[in-house]
Structure 1
Amino acid sequence: MSKHIFLLGGSGRTGLLVIEKALASGHKVTALVRNTAKVEISHANLTLFEGSPSSAKDLAAAMQGCDSVIVTLNNSRQTDSPFSKIINSDTLLTDTISETVAAMKGHGITRISMLSAAGTTDTFVTAPWVMRLMIKHTNLGHAYRDHEGVQAVLEASGLDWTLGRAMMLGKKPGTAPVIESYVVNGKADPKPAMQISRASVAQWLIDSLDRDDLAAKAPMISQK
């Protein structure tokens, strides 16, 4: 079913793929980004708003007319190194989603799907030991704690939410099937692969909007 998707994170590597794939599937997309020049996509069904994703005013204005929300924001570091300093506040995502939830309720929107990270909350015990060390002892931990704050906000929101807790974002082919794993008795079932492509994440987020079985769920997602 055709949707009008409100997107946060549209100028990022995964967000740009969400825009491309959503438009190719016949959806409308409205993206709120800090710098519209970073989105070099032109389409009749794409609307770009320049503003801050944590601004209640900007969110309320840009979200008008949309019926669902996808978020691919991340609490970025200066580089991809886990030791690199974070660029933003430790609670950027949590604060942004709190404002997003309020704006959604103001517009009567109930469906939101967001990219998260494997290794948060109950999935920490199932993460590879190297990942657990990095979460505990590098600046990567700031982003993970922020994702956990997001989950707490969504769980208390009363909205129809889904979190895709992605394994390492790699370069696997985008056509391979996505594995959805949950923690059962302290173990990941089924056992996830180590990676998932950004293209597959983007498609999964779009598809998740129509899946009732993912309501209030936060599966780990990986790729065969």
Structure 2
Amino acid sequence: MLLTYKGHRTGRPFTVPIGYFDWDSGTVLAMSSQLGWIPSMRQGSAVRLRIRGQDHAAVPTVAENPEEVAALLGEFGRAQRAQGRQGADARPPRRTTHRRRQCRRWAGRLTGPDRLPTGPNNPERQSLTMANLLILGGTGRTGIHVLNEAAQRGHRVRALVRNPDTVQAPAGVELIQGTPASIDDLRKAARGTQAVISTLNNSRASDNPWAKPVSPPMFMTDATRNTLTVMGEQNIRRIVVTSAQGAGDDWTRINPVIKALTKALIKVSNLKASYDDHAGVDQLLRASDVDWTLARAVALTDKPISGPTRAAEAGSEKPGAQINRADLARFLLDTLEEDTWIRKTPLVWNARG
């Protein structure tokens, strides 16, 4: 669902994606950890909802503190039971604590004058739909798959690239000339977008660990710092970033023997520049107040799409050995659309193959 509201300070319209649950024929329940637009809805000002391609006018009732949220969820649960819904449909959504703010997620009831397209068997009822995406690193070996996958899913996609004339982008993808190393280029590219996917990498001349670095030192870190600054300026809350197994705090879940061998290789090769850069990105995201996801990929391959991916946090599962880039792109889009792995660092691999 897309929610469009007017900013309480500027009066300008803003559109944000948000998950929702059916309430009845004229009401939906929305929950989110993104708090930036709450002041604009506290007074019950009219908003617009876009649900499965249809626009609807609605009036929000917002609950923010834990007691209000609990009361609203309780009312929702009673309404579901009264309508005779069974199983998961008869239970209110689970409340969760959001680490970025010392409060519960907010919940809101949005009631429209017309019938909202709801239904207990609708598979889309708890999903997110993104309107405008900014892709960084879209010309890379993983990034090009993200561009293709996002375009196929019907998103409006914008990519910041050095030379648009050399990029064979899917139809409908808007190419903006520039580099994430320039904050002004990022400001231009991010204008009007709701989320960011970054597949930037600290490149070498080849995959050989001793190959000469091509990217400037700490390129990803500097680009991420610029991106977070622009996101704050333009009220963009969501970012999904690719990372690597063993980067940042990931050493804790690696087999001790493999860890020792990998660290030795990093120390004597040019891999060190890349891992230092990944660690810088890790630190910046953890210190930020945005809704980030760091997707740590195992060894990347260029094989065709091979099926389902698996993702897990530190120590919970033994990962597979590889993931192909097309499947990783699908995981990044799924994570963004479904609003999962918020402020987490899942390791991602192919379940088979």
1:71 paired residue number:
198
| Matched position secondary structure for 1:58 | helix
Note the aligned Cα RMSD (angstroms).
1.5
Tell me the residue number matched to 1:25. Answer: 153
Which of 149, 153, 162 is equivalent to 2:284?
Answer: 153
2: CA distance, partners of 1:2 / 1:148: 29
2:166 to 38, 41, 48: 38
How far the C-alpha of 1:173 sits from its partner, in A, is 4.6
Which residue identity does 1:22 align to in structure 2?
Answer: A
Q: Which residue of 1 aligns with 2:74?
A: none
The residue type paired with residue 61 of structure 1 is K
Q: Which amino acid aligns with 1:163?
A: L
Distance 1:38 1:13, change over 3 A: farther
Residue number in structure 1 paired with 2:124: none
Say yes or no: does 1:121 pair with 2:248: yes
Larger Rg: 2
Residue matched to 1:135: 266
Instruction: Specify the code of the residue in structure 2 equivalent to 1:36.
Output: P
**Structure holding more helix per residue:** 1
Structure 1 stretch displaced more, 135-144 or 192-201: 135-144
**2:134 corresponding residue in structure 1:** 6
TM-score by length of 1: 0.92
Offset at residue 136 of structure 1 (A): 2.7
Structure 2 length normalisation: TM-score? 0.60
* Residue aligning to 1:62: 189
AA at the equivalent of 2:234: H
Q: Which moved more, 1:35-44 or 1:141-150?
A: 35-44
Equivalent position of 1:106 in the other structure: 233
Out of 294, 301, 309, the residue aligned to residue 163 of structure 1 is 294
Contact 1:172 1:223 in 2 (8 A): no
Q: Hey, what's the Cα distance between the residues in 1 that align with 2:171 and 2:303? A: 28
Tell me the equivalent position of 1:50: 177
Q: In the alignment, what sits opposite 1:223?
A: 350
Instruction: Give, in whole Å, the separation in 1 of the partners of 2:216 and 2:187.
Output: 22
Q: For the residues of structure 1 that align with 2:322 and 2:215, how far apart are their CA atoms?
A: 26
Structure 1: give runs of 5+ residues left out of the alignment.
Answer: none
Q: CA deviation at 1:176?
A: 2.1
Q: CA shift at 1:89, angstroms?
A: 2.3
Quick check: 2:220–2:277 contact (8 Å CA) kept in 1? yes
Distance 1:11 1:171, change over 3 A: closer
Residue 213 of structure 1, CA deviation: 3.5
Note if contact 1:164-1:221 (Cα within 8 Å) is conserved in structure 2: yes
User: One-letter code of the match for 2:313?
Assistant: Y
1:96 and 2:223 aligned: yes
* 1:114-137 superposed Cα distances (whole Å, 9 cap, x missing partner): 110001123224053443332232
Contact 1:172 1:195 in 2 (8 A): no
Aligned match of 2:29: none
Aligned identity (percent) is: 38
Distance in 2 separating the partners of 1:56 and 1:132 = 33
Q: Deviations over 1:163-204 (max 9, x none)?
A: 110000014552422121222xxxx32011110000011111
- How far apart are 1:35 and its partner, in Å? 1.3
Is 1:15 matched up with 2:146? no
In the alignment, the residues of structure 1 paired with residue 144 and residue 340 of structure 2 have an alpha-carbon distance, to the nearest angstrom, of: 26
* Structure 2 gaps, min length 5: 1-128
Partners of 2:340 and 2:142 lie apart in 1 by: 23
1:42–1:173 CA distance, 2 compared to 1 (3 A): closer
Q: Distance in 1 between matches of 2:293 and 2:188?
A: 24
Tell me: CA distance 1:148–1:211, structure 2 relative to 1, closer, same or farther (3 Å): farther
